[in-house]
Structure 1
């Protein structure tokens, strides 16, 4: 069917942006995240007989698939747009409903660098992607939720609670994959303007322009988004500012080839720099002793910074400035004779500049800190990454061949230097570290989905991983030392692994599948393994590896859909070291075993009323001691009730995060030092769309919501001040609390 072009012409500014996207060098980390085609889809072929078109699937906030042999879950754009706070970051969105994921918001939705724990693995032990392209820090594969992709950029979230298949490219896929999707490009012309406001004096406003198919390029359409957000934050004097813009172009170059250009930019400022404890955590001893100088309100669970320049934790001494950019050029083509091509060339950029007071005591005065040799820190974390992901597939009568390769190169200059945090001049404490390193990644793979019978598909595959770090470390005041007078030292290392995969899926009926999977994964050690005296390393640690075994099933009907899985992951995910004659050697630490049972379901209680539930039960223990891994909840449960009728969308959720242990990192024996109580997170949201307005406004959407309805405050993390501390016994013990009740409201007009 021929596409209908509208009268919107390509303005020169958008033409220029499109050309910019074409000529920019493109790169980043790469993995084809599992998008089974239902995040933004209205349904599948086959009309009502296709399970993808069942109401229990389409109207579920979390969707699963019969088509893959592993536990996948997808949050739809409709869920994000109607049932999450509009100023959220991806961690806040995932925490609400995504199975196996939890995160803690300490400064209100979207107001912090919040993290996700996924299936018991911490951030950095699983891969994150955007439109199938992995992205992360380069010293280790961790992520920053306040930077690259805020809510206005996100059109869905997918996840794979397994190392995936051979095609699951990424730096740490052994813990699974969480994939963000860009917003879909409208077929019709639309201009939307929005304003959202909420608790903690939070304001967000912006606009989105969809050109629809262009008059002078009828196979091309563009989506452009720009926004601003500012907030005082839930924590004291932890202010946040964010500006962002994204651009996406889709064009059918030929009947068989489409092109996508995506470009984004985010600038983020806050008073939540790298200040070490206790400023990052509220002091536990409440009300505690009188402060040395006024300003430390120990009775305030939100305590973060003060507004008193005489205090070392004054907000003006704690600055955080981040700029990010993410861009790619993609082509999809039907090459004929069953061959298909999917190629993405990408570039991303990250610059994190921090200047902060080097606080070491809860009530430290600015004068006493400035009198020391290490009063403040100038910190730079930055990188730019370029790469390409080529994917090819070939359909045969007996199955499908999938093969491809990721290539990537990144450069990472980083430093930390002691400075006077008022003048910015270097302090006598010297340089903490100064380094520059390059990372080269090569990941080819191949797999074959063999149709053994009409009902049974067996997919073996293999992936080869090669990661090379070339690290230059400059002489400093303690990390590597003076290097015997040499200006720098260089080390290069290459890690390689061959990772096999095998899964099988059997269709009992067209709406009922069972599967089994064996998958492997790895994670290269961080660059910090060379952060030792003289950078002298005798034996490097091996890549940390996992083996995962799991079985599961998916069953879908028009009235309800259910899925469950059982898994075990054997993980060599840590290492220890010893120093002999000044040379550091690493060896593998005892293994860890992760086990779990996961299930979810969606029930249509009425035509427009559905009930969603999921539950996870986890056991994560060290093999030698039987003690629990920190920050892994014993269980998680979520229940959500959603109603849609005419122009109304109403929803409410309750999520319980079970008890989990905290370690004392000051002690030799660190495990199970303190157990956090279970946390219960609640939310309500309501949306109404005015669709018949006798003005130039085509429609208007009003939305209101509330998070943490009962204003519950939980201890979400603990830091002990000494090896012998019992929480609260020392004034240096600190804790992190969840933020309180948060309300929001917003209006979006479509023109």
Structure 2
């Protein structure tokens, strides 16, 4: 056991990432000032487009007064796989001001997931074509990020909606240049906001149900002539809410800084920093109440004020500290040759105190107390990691096409532990600097782990004919997982082991243009997923299979665009192989092996029609199916369809949207069609959600403000409260249920100056 069992976030430590970010901004400006002495005049400086990443080129593209300008989601005519581009305009008009990325991308076809505590007020695990949160990538400005035990994500922990400039949902592995540890499910690509050319800023606030309040300021430097038209963006905000679930409060602070610095007409340096601090009052097991608890306390039951209960608020709280930083240098060496070099780091520090059983399945009594004691047992849990990496890309245009190549390298160090507690004897709050007295009867695990990854790639976009683009590519995945544990998880024995994995992944895409407003595409691509850390929770991990889980993707699609209508449709089939499962043996014979897999297939489409007079109509739909190859069962948690309908209005000072989203039924256990009655208990019916937004923008308001925007958002307008997920227990009496949060509202004001 470690000598310091209570790592704490003191104020100086919490400010370290901020000081690094400010130093980063200062460094960028000083480099720009130094380069200005020898560079060309500011008038000659050009803004360079991002290199290589296809999603970046479409993230902000729009045409005024057309269907493309107002579409909630759409695909690009240059797409090589199904995608949904989401703009900042849609985020500001139709998404909750308190939201994070999960609420933003939820509009897209084949995407589902919502917060049980209210919009943006708790973590959301999103599904994509039925793939779970750890089976697809999430990137920010081209950098993949996620947990280090498996590539899952914490939706509220890094980037609030106010700092997200746009998103591209890519449903497939993409080309060889797409990066991440879980490429076979696709990618949610998030982008920071583009800088404005003029200096200005805004004060924004929002108030809503459950005592929800948000206050923030966003500042823009505009183009700074002294520094070659450099720009600086700063966003600072505070979010607080009591939440829909009983006693599940949240308090969150975020500071985000971005600097774009042209060093010359050929080189642009970008620095980005985001620091987040969150405190939750919630149980570590937040999978919802049992049906008995629902009958007694309601669908929103979670915590209470009874210190003799497992669900006492004083026994269940979490503090999270994260930061995310990068430096990116984009260079254009000639008319045909350009490079992009990016270094980054991000960290996640979760300190949780929680009781062990919110369902009532176990009686009070701890290991530390005397026999028959009624003390409340709990855990002290830590998940803390630092990730550092670099991405280098080159692009060269030839007469026949464009060559892209690069390499992604990354390493991470993780420190995880979980200790038993007697909560009745005293417990600390993760925000406190001094620990209260606690007892540690046993160590569940005390583990350090590391991932080292190296992934080179190359692809060539060949243009044999005008309007025809064929892109073959190849990527090699080389990674090593290692664990050094005083007490390993599950076995509770010391562990020192290292396992390496390697895989070559081929890619082939086609995009065919038919005039200026129609294109078709096809994709064949291999994806993969890094083996879960749980594969080390055995006596000898070197006996595990060295083959990672892989997929083969086949996709066809068509995209059409004209001023009145933007639309696209696709069909897909994904063969998922090498499913990683335990061999079921114990002791030294235990191992994780590859068996079977699954087939995911479906049809998707999305369209926006510009009706006229400021009105537009929107629709999307998907039919999805996921079947296990080894058992023939339907994969649990995979909805069988999604659909959305929307009406949008934007003319003059008025803006409005009404968006209805439906998520199909799913089974919470793998479903066997030959015995449907056995699984009906764990079938969740289709759910619907309707959101309404109304806004008005005043100009020339005085008091130094150029404009004032007032907005009303109503979420779950029809007040649906259906079951969204079920967590089965060994005894069905203690199954846990999650429900839709009921109707809520947020009233917002944004003063621009």
Question: Cα distance, 1:706 vs. partner?
Answer: 0.3
Residue 553 in structure 1 maps to residue 558 in structure 2: yes
Which residue does 2:750 correspond to in 1?
A: 748
- Give the distance between the partners of 1:367 and 1:510, measured in 2 at CA: 71
**2:156 matched to which residue of 1?**
146
Which residues of 2 match residues 29-68 of structure 1 at below 5 A? 34-43=54-63, 55-68=66-79
Q: 1:170 to 1:738 in 2, by over 3 A?
A: same
Aligned counterpart, 2:515: 509
Q: Does 1:479 align with 2:484?
A: no
Report the Cα distance in structure 1 between the residues aligned to 2:572 and 2:21, rounded to whole angstroms: 49
Question: Match of 1:688?
Answer: 696
1:235 aligns with 2:245: yes
In 1, are the aligned partners of 2:708 and 2:752 still within 8 Å (CA)?
yes
Deviation at 1:653, TM superposition (A): 0.4
Residue 344 (structure 2) aligns with: 346
1:266 aligns with 2:276: yes
- 1:98 corresponds in structure 2 to 108
Counterpart for residue 423 of structure 1 = 426
- Determine the C-alpha separation between the residues in 2 that align with 1:574 and 1:367: 37
Unaligned runs of 5+ in 2: 1-18, 31-49, 428-436
How big is the shift at 1:481?
3.0
Match of 1:207 in 2: 217
Mapped partners of 2:86, 2:299: distance in 1: 32
**Structure 2 CA distance, aligned partners of 1:320 and 1:69?**
42
Q: Does the aligned pair in 2 maintain the 1:21–1:327 contact within 8 Å?
A: no
**Deviation at 1:535?**
4.6
TM-score, scaled to structure 1: 0.89
Q: Cα distance, 1:390 vs. partner?
A: 0.5
Correspondence list, 1:156-167, <5 A:
156-167=166-177
Is 1:562 the equivalent of 2:564?
Answer: no
Per the alignment, residue 304 of structure 1 pairs with 302
1:693 CA displacement:
1.8
Shift of 1:397: 0.6
Is 1:281 the counterpart of 2:288? The answer is yes
- CA distance, structure 2, for counterparts of residue 98 and residue 391 of structure 1: 29
* Distance in 1 separating the partners of 2:309 and 2:129: 41
Query: Structure 1 131/36 Cα, relative in aligned 2: closer, same or farther at 3 Å?
Result: closer
Contact 1:60 1:602 in 2 (8 A): yes
Aligned residue number for residue 291 of structure 1? none
d(CA) in 2 for partners of 1:266, 1:170: 23
**Unmatched segments (≥5 aa) in structure 1:** 1-11, 24-29, 44-52, 289-297, 483-487
Q: Distance in 1 between matches of 2:190 and 2:637?
A: 24
For residue 148 of structure 2, give the secondary structure of its aligned residue in structure 1. Answer: coil
CA positional deviation for 1:451: 0.4
How far 1:31 moved relative to its partner? 12
**Which structure's residues are more often helix, by fraction?**
2
- Alignment partner, residue 178 of structure 1: 188
Query: In structure 2, do the counterparts of structure 1 residues 42 and 625 end up closer, same or farther at CA, with 3 Å as the change threshold?
Result: closer
SS at match of 2:91: helix
More moved, 644-653 vs 621-630: 621-630
Is the contact made by 1:160 and 1:176 (CA closer than 8 Å) also made in structure 2? yes
Secondary structure of the structure 1 residue equivalent to 2:442: strand
The alpha carbon displacement at 1:647 in A equals 1.1
Q: Distance in 2 between matches of 1:441 and 1:454?
A: 38
Which of 636, 656, 659 is equivalent to 1:653?
Answer: 659
Instruction: Write out aligned runs for 1:447-462 (5 A).
Output: 447-462=459-474
Q: What residue is the counterpart of 2:729 in the other structure? A: 721
Indicate the residue corresponding to 1:526 in structure 2.
532
**Contact 1:157–1:178, Cα closer than 8 Å, also in 2:** yes
Count of residue correspondences:
697
SS at match of 1:282: coil
Give the aligned partner of residue 10 of structure 2: none
Bigger CA drift: 402-411 or 420-429?
A: 420-429
Choose from 375, 387, 390 the match for 1:388: 390
Indicate how the Cα distance of structure 1 residues 436 and 463 shifts in structure 2: closer, same or farther if over 3 A, else same: same
Kindly provide the CA deviation profile for residues 532-562 of structure 1, in whole angstroms up to 9, marking residues without a partner as x. Answer: 2x45652335200000101110011111111
Task: For residue 720 of structure 1, report the CA deviation from its aligned partner.
Answer: 2.6
- Contact kept? 1:541, 1:586, Cα under 8 Å: no
Q: String of CA shifts for 1:133-175, please: whole Å, max 9, x gaps.
A: 0000011000001110111221111111111110111110110
Alignment partner of 1:408 out of 407, 410, 420: 410
Distance verdict in 2 for CA 1:238–1:363, change over 3 Å: farther
Following superposition, the deviation at residue 32 of structure 1 comes to 7.0
Instruction: Return the alpha-carbon distance in structure 1 between the equivalents of residues 74 and 541 of structure 2.
Output: 50
In 2, the alpha carbon distance for the partners of 1:16 and 1:459 equals: 41
Q: Are 1:56 and 1:559, in contact at CA under 8 Å, matched by a contact in 2?
A: yes
CA displacement at 1:579 relative to structure 2: 2.1
Query: Structure 1: how far apart are the matches of 2:28 and 2:251?
Result: 26
Question: What RMSD, in angstroms, separates the aligned Cα atoms of the two structures?
Answer: 2.5
**Using the alignment, how far apart are the partners of 2:529 and 2:300 within structure 1?**
36
Distance 1:614 1:596 in 2: 14
Using the TM superposition, give the Cα deviation of residue 735 of structure 1 relative to its aligned residue in structure 2, in angstroms: 0.8
Pair 1:131 & 2:131 matched: no
Partner of 2:318: 320
Partner-residue secondary structure (3-state), 2:123:
coil
TM superposition shift of 1:394: 0.4
Q: Residue 21 of structure 1 contacts residue 329 of structure 1 at CA under 8 Å; is this kept in 2?
A: no
Pick closer, same or farther for the CA change 1:698–1:61 going to 2, 3 Å. same
CA, structure 1 residues 286+307, in 2 after alignment: closer, same or farther (shift >3 Å)? closer
Q: Is the 8 A contact 1:73 1:160 kept in 2?
A: yes
CA-CA distance at 1:626 after TM superposition: 2.4
Q: Sort the Cα spacing of 1:15 and 1:720 in 2 relative to 1 into closer, same or farther, 3 A.
A: closer
Q: Sort the Cα spacing of 1:700 and 1:38 in 2 relative to 1 into closer, same or farther, 3 A.
A: farther
SS of the residue aligned with 2:470?
strand
Q: Which residue does the alignment assign to 1:376?
A: 378
